Copies of this chain bind each other. A is one copy, B any other.
Amino acid sequence: MVVPAKSLGKPPADRPSAAGDRLTEAIELLFFAYRDFISDPDEILAEYDFGRAHHRVVHFVSRNPGITVAELLNILRITKQSLARVLKQLIERGFVAQETGKQDRRQRLLYLTASGRELEERLAAPQRARVAAALEKAGPGAEDAWRTVLLELVNDEDRTEVEHRIARAPVEQR
């Protein structure tokens, strides 16, 4: 233990890293958890020749049937050109359908098709199982704490919106 006394300057253990830093450990845990969490659907996506970008779109369209392109962009925080690439493929191959908005005919409301819903369920299944197992192992009460911390990690400006998004009827108005 005790790293070799090492090169240039202080042996690292003063503060920002090395051992015993609860905060850094929490940050690192988030990396590992997320790394494995997002690895689940990759094999399924590969069957379809899709990537993680497609997964995100399928997920959020599933969660927000009738979502507009603008809303989706706001969630994903990517450019419309980036979104267009994957969205086009999802539409061409029949996983996502568009409908012209009724109030505002400029909008393209997005929905999953039957195939899209099937894909979504396949992708979600392993992630749901993983989270369910983790929450169960962590015991009762862990879920609330877990959710609270995650929500608090979100940018202040976005927290209200996220809060609404994660528990609500299908979409909003339209």
Residues of A within 8 A of B (CB): 1-4, 6-9, 11-13, 16-20, 22-37, 39, 56, 59, 62-63, 65-66, 77, 97, 99, 102, 111-114, 117-118, 120-121, 124-125, 127-128, 130-135, 137-139, 141-143, 145-155, 158, 162, 165-172, 174
CB pair B149–A26 under 8 Å, yes or no, is no
- The CA of A129 and the CA of B169, in the complex, are separated in Å by 33
The number of times this chain is found in the oligomer is 2
Q: For A149, give its contact among B22, B34, B125, B146 (CB under 8 Å).
A: B146
Q: Is the interface of A mostly helix, strand, loop or mixed?
A: helix
Q: Shortest beta-carbon distance, A16 to chain B, in Å?
A: 5
- Given contacts A28-B63, A97-B8, A18 and B146 within 8 Å (CB-CB): no
- Given contacts A16-B121, A63-B17, A153-B131, A169 and B1 within 8 Å (CB-CB): yes
- Given contacts A6-B111, A170-B3, A37 and B28 within 8 Å (CB-CB): no
Q: For A3, give its contact among B1, B149, B171 (CB under 8 Å).
A: B171
- The CA of A2 and the CA of B128, in the complex, are separated in Å by 12
CB pair B12–A153 under 8 Å, yes or no, is no
Q: Shortest beta-carbon distance, A90 to chain B, in Å?
A: 14
- Given contacts A32-B154, A135-B149, A153-B33, A167 and B120 within 8 Å (CB-CB): no
- Given contacts A62-B12, A154-B36, A170 and B19 within 8 Å (CB-CB): yes
